[in-house]
């Protein structure tokens, strides 16, 4: 673990160091979170990220997932993609929607003040990424972008940046704000209850997104094609700007798929993506392009078939947060799974860290 910064006997980092030495990492995370709420400091934010990584790596995780039903009653029988207000959000409604329809839209999950904050964070993170790449110095660059040391592949970062994304773990300040936003919205409790165990996050699948309206077409895919079918996951995708008509949104198959569908055929550009012909067959006419307002969310799991929705008539860019959670008891099902594209294997190890 990196050396702790010290600034005196009353430093929150000194207090956290005592907890760390006793192996109480989650308590150290809570302590530093409270301190950073009161007085923002990049050194605390860096340490929080390191602690989240270490807390997952050092913890004992169950090898058998808790029981969860494979089928549940459909509480949205007349919907293609169910929609609820944030006040109605519950694990039971999410489970019913996902197992019967593939996803659920949550209106107004994030308030406007938090939306505005995260949009500013994304702009700062993108600016800092570009400055880092170009070896330019800008104020607070390390707060907004510094490569997460456990993700060593800069080629992947460049591909992601070109596609309009920066990893949240590469931006300690933005990651802190995303986690705080989710806690305020009740997402932490939701995912823990949904999995029936403490949730973790996938470092390589939490992404700050600023998608250009000039982006090229995107292939359909199921994230389970490279994360593994037998994991338990939830993606909380939050729109931070109006999108789906004049800005890129998401096209979604509005039905549950229980298997990984055929990939790499019928017009697919990569071996792990799904061609239009396959999508048309498995969708059974249920392809939806929802319109999202800032703060709305789409929640789905790794079996959902979707793609970025881009149209030449779009004139505005789209801001969003992509945040994949998973149940630690099923992570072993992920580490032996991969797909292949034209450049070789896509590693299944997405770098788990504690939420």
Instruction: Encode pLDDT of 225-269 as tens digits.
Output: 888 889 999 999 999 999 999 999 999 999 999 999 999 999 888
Does residue 307 sit in the same domain as residue 232? yes
Do 115 and 169 lie in a common domain?
Answer: yes
* Residue 344 clears pLDDT 60, i.e. is over it: no
Asked whether residue 213 falls in the same domain as residue 291, the answer is yes
Q: How many domains does the chain have?
A: 2
Burial of 189 (0-12, 13-18, 19+ CB in 10 A): middle
Whether 41 and 190 map to the same domain: the answer is: no
Residues 6+ apart with CB under 8 A from 134: none
Q: Does one domain contain both 5 and 126?
A: no
Are 96 and 185 part of one and the same domain?
Answer: yes
Kindly give the pairing relationship between strand 249-253 and strand 306-309: antiparallel
Give pLDDT tens digits for 21-41.
999 999 999 999 999 999 999
Q: What is the pLDDT of residue 335?
A: 60
How high is the pLDDT of residue 269? 87
pLDDT single digits (tens) 126-178 = 999 999 999 999 999 999 999 999 998 888 899 999 999 999 999 999 999 99
State yes or no: pLDDT of 342 exceeds 60: no
pLDDT tens-digit readout, 296-336 = 999 999 999 999 999 999 999 999 999 999 999 998 877 65
Tell me, what CATH number does 321's domain have? 2.60.120.620
112 shares its domain with 50: no
DSSP secondary structure string for all residues of 250-305? EEEE-S---SPPP-S-TT-SSTTSB-HHHHHHHHTT-EE---B-TT-EEEE-TT--
Is the per-residue pLDDT at 4 higher than 60?
Answer: no
**Same-domain status, 312 and 168:** yes
299 in Cβ contact with 182 (< 8 Å): no
Pairing of strands 103-107, 83-85: parallel
Whether 191 is in a domain gets the answer yes
Is the per-residue pLDDT at 337 higher than 80? no
Please state, for a pLDDT cut of 90, what percent of the chain lies above it. Answer: 85
In a domain, 315, yes or no: yes
CA distance 303 to 261: 9
Domain that holds residue 305: 72-354
Is residue 308 within 8 A of residue 218, CB to CB? The reply is: yes
Cα–Cα dist 190/199, whole Å: 10
DSSP secondary structure of 313-354: T--S-EEEEEEEEE-GGGHHHHHT--EEETTEEE-S---EEE
268 and 224 housed in the same domain: yes
Residue 173 within any structural domain of the chain: yes
Round to whole Å and give the CA distance between 170 and 143. 9
Confidence of residue 44 (pLDDT cuts 50, 70, 90): very high
Instruction: Say whether pLDDT at 272 is over 80.
Output: yes
- Determine, yes or no, domain membership for 339: yes
Same domain, yes or no: 102 and 131: yes
CA angle 280, 281, 285 (to 5 degrees): 60
**pLDDT at residue 48 is higher than 80:** yes
Residue 3 pLDDT grade (very low, low, confident, very high; cuts 50, 70, 90): very low
């Amino acid at each position: 673990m990196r050396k702790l910064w010290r600034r005196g006997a009353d430093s929150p980092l000194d207090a956290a160091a005592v907890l760390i030495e006793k192996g109480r990492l989650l308590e150290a995370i809570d302590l530093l979170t409270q301190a950073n709420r009161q007085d923002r400091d990049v050194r605390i934010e860096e340490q929080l990220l390191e602690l989240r990584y270490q807390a997952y790596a050092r913890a004992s995780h169950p090898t058998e997932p808790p029981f969860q039903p494979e089928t549940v009653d459909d509480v949205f029988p007349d919907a293609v993609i169910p929609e609820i207000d944030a006040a109605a959000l519950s694990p039971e409604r999410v489970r019913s929607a996902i197992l019967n329809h593939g996803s659920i839209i949550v209106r107004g999950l994030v308030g406007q003040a938090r939306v505005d904050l995260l949009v500013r964070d994304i702009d700062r993170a993108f600016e800092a990424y570009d400055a880092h790449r170009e070896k330019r110095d800008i104020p607070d660059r390390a707060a907004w972008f510094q490569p997460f040391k456990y993700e060593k592949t800069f080629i992947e970062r460049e591909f992601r940046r070109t596609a309009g994304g920066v990893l949240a773990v590469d931006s300690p300040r933005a990651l802190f704000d995303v986690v705080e936003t989710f806690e305020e919205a009740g997402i932490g409790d939701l995912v823990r209850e949904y999995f029936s165990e403490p949730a973790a996050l996938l470092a390589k699948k939490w992404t700050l997104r600023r998608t250009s309206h000039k982006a090229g077409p995107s292939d359909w895919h199921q994230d389970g094609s490279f994360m593994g079918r037998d994991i338990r996951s939830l993606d909380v995708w939050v729109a931070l700007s109006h999108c789906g008509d004049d800005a890129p949104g998401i096209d979604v198959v509005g039905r549950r798929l229980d298997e990984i569908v055929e990939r790499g055929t019928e017009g697919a550009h990569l071996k792990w993506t799904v061609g239009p012909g396959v999508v048309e067959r498995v969708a059974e006419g249920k392809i939806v392009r929802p319109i999202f307002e800032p703060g709305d969310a789409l929640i789905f799991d790794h079996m959902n078939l979707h793609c970025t929705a881009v149209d030449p008539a779009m004139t505005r860019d789209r801001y969003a947060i992509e945040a994949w959670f998973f149940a630690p008891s099923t992570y072993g099902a992920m580490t032996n799974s991969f797909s292949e594209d034209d450049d070789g294997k896509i590693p299944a190890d997405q770098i788990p860290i504690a939420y």
